[in-house]
Structures are given as structure tokens and as C-alpha cells.
Amino acid sequence: MSLVDLTVDGAVALVRLNRPPVNALSEELSVELGEAFDRCADPEIRAVVVTGQPHFAAGADIKGFQAAYDSGVDEKLAGALLGTVAKLESLEKPTIAAIHGYALGGGLELAMGCDFRYLAVDAKVGQPEILLGIIPGAGGTQRLPRIVGYQRAKEIVFSGRQVDAEEAERIGLADRVAPTEELLDLALADAGRWAAGPTRALAAAKRALNDGWGHVMGQALMVEAGAFQDCFWTDDAKEGVAAFIEKRKAEFTGR
């Protein structure tokens, strides 16, 4: 049985975790996710939704940690997931995590690799690794402060507590909150709208935002200028300018 299901409808890809009962993130699941994200790099795919039910991903497979203790082998236990989240984050198209149930530990780290996080009203997220005597190892201590702010991220990581959907929306960790039965349809509909947009301009904006973060202003502006130049001569840019002048709706093709 495949641990990841990938389906494509038009220009929108749906990546669904499939490791019952809670989509615990084993090394095998992380590798299959990475392979799915490689396929999502196809330029014909212009937006991606990542989901899992009844839980997005309830964290890492702790049995793998115990196996490492038993064997005494010093493995890079977060390595597969770390690389997989990096692949997701670098996809040059909009991505949405549709979160049902729990997204804890590596599950939240995976979700933070997406551009947007949509939560079901009963969803809960968090970085509970500290309760095991460890810390997040696939980007949690680095991406969470960039999303919710340094001090709030420190409290969430130090406490290991679970954050409900209402609080997640209030602090910017959730971009939208919806009834459980409506969540996936909402995410797919919004992904469809992103997919109809100027994909290469969206990719350039994403690259400028991601790569410019943390640089001094002069360096960040150079990143932005390069990204602007990358999209200025695209077919979509020419179409957008022509549509503006002709007072009509632009028809973007992603080229």
C-alpha cells in the first residue's frame, strides 16, 4: 500500500498522507512525500494541497526513536523529513496544508512548509517534542518564529502545548478556519483560483519573500530585483499588461 496518494485535477495536485491511523511520519512516509513533491514540480501543476484524514499527521513515529536507542546507531532521524519539507517549501507554486485533527511535531513542521495553512475548527497543532526531552528537528524552531513571532514561538516550543484552531488563526499560524466537512473543498477551491493566476509571477514573489527574509535590506532588495526580472518577460506578464490596457480580464497560462 502506498503511504502517499497523489491525484491531479486540472492544474491542482492533491497530496494525501495515507498511513493509518494517525499518519505518523516514519522515514518511509517522509521519503514517499518527497517523491510526491518532486512530481508536483511539473509545470503543468500550478497549485498543491497537502492533507491527511482523520489527522493531518500526529507527529513522528516514536517507535523509530526507540529503535535508534536500542541499536545505538547515531542516525539523522529528522533527515528525511527535513529534506522533504524543504522540497515542499521550494515548490514554485502556491501550496496549502488542509489540516484535520492533529498536526503535531513533524506534522506541524510539514504544514509550515506550505505557503498557507487551513485548519478545521476542531484541529490542533503544536510542537510537543520538549515533552519527550527533545526539540523539533525538521524546521520547527526556525519556521514557527517566522510565522507567529519569536517570543510566541518560544512559548509554544518550550511548553509543548497544543494550539487550537481559534488561537492558531489569531496568531497567524492558521490562514483560514472552516468546518471539518468543508475544509478540503475550501482548500481545493482556493488552490484552483491560485492555479488560474500568473504562476511564474507567484513563484517569483514566493522566491523573493523566502530568500530575502533575514538579509540586510540591500541584499534583500537585490533578491527582489532578480525575482522581478525573472517574471517581467514572461507570457503572463505580457498578457497582464495587455489586459490592463485593453480593460479586460487577463487569461494567464502559467508561462
Q: Tell me the per-residue pLDDT of 73-94, one tens digit each, with 9 for 90 and over.
A: 555 556 789 999 999 999 999 9
Active-site choice (89, 92, 109, 251): 109
Mean pLDDT lowest among 57-71, 165-179, 207-221, 236-250: 57-71
Mean pLDDT across the stretch 15-28?
A: 94
Residue ranges, comma separated, of all CATH 1.10.12 domains in the chain are 199-245
Distance, CA of 99 to CA of 183 (rounded, Å): 8
Residues of the chain with CATH 3.90.226.10: 4-195
Instruction: Name the active-site residue from 75, 129, 167, 224.
Output: 129
The verdict on whether 35 is a catalytic residue reads no
CATH number listed for the domain at residues 199-245:
1.10.12
Q: Is the pLDDT of residue 4 over 60?
A: yes
The model carries a pTM of 0.92
Looking at every residue in the chain, the average pLDDT score rounds to 93
Are residues 137 and 82 in contact, defined by beta-carbon separation less than 8 angstroms? yes
Q: How far apart are CA 113 and CA 90, in angstroms?
A: 8
pLDDT at 64 over 70: no
C-alpha cell at 182: 468543508
| Catalytic-residue membership of 75 | no
Residue with grid cell 519569536, as numbered in its chain: 150
Could you tell me which CATH class the domain 4-195 is placed in?
alpha beta
Model confidence over 169-190: pLDDT tens digits?
999 999 999 999 999 999 999 9
